[in-house]
């Protein structure tokens, strides 16, 4: 069974940076569309970024463009989310998600991903 194990969350000040990691087992990550979602308190789980299987093309929600980068480390079968210029609005639980067959038009919807990590807390303080 596919497992996703997240790490890298923490507490940072405004303008700081964090690098989240999602280790994938049970599947080669390069053939597995990966997404990052986040949930702020009292809100739904929202799309942050995704990297599409095979093509490696990346997709971002507008609020993180230019600040966040999703990438793959194929040697370690790991997906990363590098975050710079963090703001309090970035605070939330970040989830790693994956799916082997999701089509491009559906990558923005959390319910379309089969596999999920446990979540890692990111807190940005002023």
Give the number of other Cβ atoms within 10 Å of residue 90's Cβ. Answer: 23
pLDDT of residue 27: 83
Convert the pLDDT of each residue in 38-90 to its tens digit. Answer: 999 899 999 999 999 989 999 999 999 999 999 999 889 999 999 999 999 99
pLDDT of residue 28: 80
Confidence of residue 31 (pLDDT cuts 50, 70, 90): confident
DSSP β-ladder status, 78-83 and 18-25? antiparallel
Q: Is pLDDT of 29 > 90?
A: no
* 3-class DSSP assignment, residue 65: coil
pLDDT of residue 30: 79
């Amino acid at each position: 069974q596919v497992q996703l194990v997240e790490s890298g969350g923490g507490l940072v000040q405004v303008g700081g940076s964090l690098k989240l990691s999602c280790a994938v087992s049970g599947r080669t990550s390069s053939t597995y569309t990966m997404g990052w979602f986040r949930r702020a308190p009292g809100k739904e789980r929202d799309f942050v970024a995704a990297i599409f299987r095979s093509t490696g093309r990346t997709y971002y929600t507008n609020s993180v463009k230019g600040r966040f980068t999703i990438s793959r480390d194929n040697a370690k079968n790991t997906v990363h989310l590098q975050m710079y210029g963090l703001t309090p609005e970035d605070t939330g639980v970040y989830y790693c998600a994956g799916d082997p067959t999701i089509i491009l038009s559906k990558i923005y919807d959390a319910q379309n991903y089969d596999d999920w990590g446990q979540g890692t807390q990111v807190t940005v303080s002023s």
